[in-house]
């Protein structure tokens, strides 16, 4: 128990030091660091972090946190790379920053679990479960948040695709080129597809061809309906009737969405019957058990 108290106190001290190092009254920069921006050689140099600050701590433990986080995520069945999920939801964090945040939350969970265990004087088995489960729970909570955000973004793309495809078909039939039609939708749209198309148009302005930029979007999004739509859009240079093909694909995507909606409704309808069945079986078993027990008592008395 004393070891748990020492470990939790050490983790709490490290966390408090990292938090207080961001306050100017607690961590005052040295004179050389304050004069570096005014020196000709120091104006172009990167701002150096303190000896023990959040930046230096992240640089030191970033590779280790990334390695441990990747192995733990794969251990719990997460096969998709974190880079792809963060890029899909347009997160401002990179992989190292996210893994370091997970490590910080895990250390805080370890300190909290050790403090609760020491305060409640739990048995050894339960204490080990609490101390080891708290950092793991903190790690999985952040992992689940990214997975949920990624799944919601994919769902939004799938729901918006029929409308976007119909707009592309209309613009293509009106004489717009594929790049101009994508730029128009990206400029005037406000949904998930429009947000992704802004990046597609930016990639085109950087020199990437329109088909390659669309394929990059499909690889990042990982939506089956988008893969089929992109496969039709890349035929722009090979066909003169792109509007009709895109319209047919839009109707196919809409039928797919309707089919999924019907499946969801049927699944929920089946789930409704579970509590009804349980509520019906329990009284029925009780009513059947009463005469059965009475008959057994009668035969046993005779």
pLDDT digits (tens, 9 = 90+) for 233-286: 988 888 778 888 989 999 999 898 888 888 888 888 888 777 777 777 777 777
Token pair in block for residue 221: 């999004």
Instruction: Note whether residue 175 is domain-resident.
Output: yes
Instruction: Note whether residue 281 is domain-resident.
Output: no
Does 172 share its domain with 134? no
Confirm if 109 and 138 have CB atoms less than 8 A apart: yes
Instruction: Note whether residue 292 is domain-resident.
Output: no
Residue ranges of E strands in the chain = none
**Ranked by mean pLDDT, which of 129-133, 162-166, 260-264 comes out on top?**
162-166
Q: 228: domain CATH number?
A: 1.20.81.30
- Domain span holding position 111: 2-152
pLDDT for 5-51, tens place per residue? Answer: 777 777 777 767 666 666 665 556 666 666 766 766 554 444 444 44
User: Domain boundary residue among 108, 134, 152?
Assistant: 152
Does 105 share its domain with 139? yes
* Closest residue by Cα to residue 72 from 106, 29, 115, 25: 106
Does 11 share its domain with 24? yes
Q: How many residues does the chain have?
A: 302
**What's residue 52's pLDDT?**
45
Token pair in block for residue 26: 């607690």
Token pair in block for residue 30: 């040295």
Instruction: Note whether residue 269 is domain-resident.
Output: no
Angle between helices 124-173 and 224-233 (to 10 degrees): 30
Instruction: Note whether residue 205 is domain-resident.
Output: yes
Does 90 share its domain with 132? yes
pLDDT for 72-120, tens place per residue? Answer: 888 888 888 888 899 999 988 888 888 888 888 888 888 888 888 888 8
Whole-number CA gyration radius for the chain: 30
Cα separation, 19 vs 209, in Å, equals: 47
Q: How confident is the model at residue 293 (pLDDT cuts 50, 70, 90)?
A: confident
**Ranked by mean pLDDT, which of 7-11, 187-191, 287-291 comes out on top?**
187-191
Confirm if 112 and 134 have CB atoms less than 8 A apart: yes
Contacts of residue 111, defined as CB under 8 A and 6 or more positions apart, other chains included, come to 8, 11, 12, 15
Confirm if 103 and 124 have CB atoms less than 8 A apart: no
Instruction: Note whether residue 278 is domain-resident.
Output: no
Does 144 share its domain with 16? yes
pTM (predicted TM-score): 0.70
Cα separation, 205 vs 22, in Å, equals: 40
If you average pLDDT over every residue of the chain, what do you get?
A: 82
Q: How far is CA 7 from the centre of its chain?
A: 31
* Closest residue by Cα to residue 12 from 123, 107, 83: 107
* Closest residue by Cα to residue 114 from 256, 3, 270: 3
Cα separation, 236 vs 239, in Å, equals: 6
Number of folded domains that form the chain: 2
């Amino acid at each position: 128990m004393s070891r748990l108290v020492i470990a939790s106190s050490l983790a709490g001290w490290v966390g408090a030091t990292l938090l207080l190092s961001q306050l100017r009254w607690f961590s005052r920069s040295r004179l050389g660091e304050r004069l570096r921006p005014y020196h000709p050689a120091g104006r172009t140099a990167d701002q150096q972090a303190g000896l023990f600050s959040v930046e230096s701590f992240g640089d030191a433990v970033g590779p280790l946190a990334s390695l441990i986080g990747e192995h733990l995520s794969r251990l719990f069945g997460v096969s998709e790379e974190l880079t792809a999920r963060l890029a899909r939801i347009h997160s401002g964090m990179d992989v190292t920053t996210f893994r370091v945040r997970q490590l910080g939350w895990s250390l805080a969970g370890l300190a909290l679990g050790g403090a609760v265990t020491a305060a409640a004087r739990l048995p050894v088995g339960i204490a080990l479960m609490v101390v080891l489960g708290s950092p793991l729970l903190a790690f999985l909570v952040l992992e689940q948040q990214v997975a949920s955000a990624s799944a919601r973004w994919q769902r939004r793309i799938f729901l918006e695709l029929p409308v976007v495809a119909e707009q592309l078909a209309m613009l293509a039939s009106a004489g717009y080129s594929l790049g101009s039609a994508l730029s128009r939708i990206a400029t005037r749209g406000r949904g998930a597809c429009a947000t992704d198309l802004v990046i597609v148009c930016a990639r085109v302005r950087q020199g990437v061809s329109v088909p390659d930029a669309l394929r990059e979007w499909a690889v990042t999004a990982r939506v089956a309906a988008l893969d089929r739509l992109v496969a039709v859009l890349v035929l722009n240079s090979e066909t003169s009737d792109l509007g009709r093909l895109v319209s047919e694909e839009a109707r196919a995507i809409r039928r797919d969405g309707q089919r999924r909606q019907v499946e969801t409704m049927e699944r929920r309808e089946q789930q409704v019957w579970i509590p009804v069945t349980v509520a019906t079986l329990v009284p029925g078993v009780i009513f059947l058990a009463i005469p059965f027990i009475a008959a057994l008592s009668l035969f046993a008395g005779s």
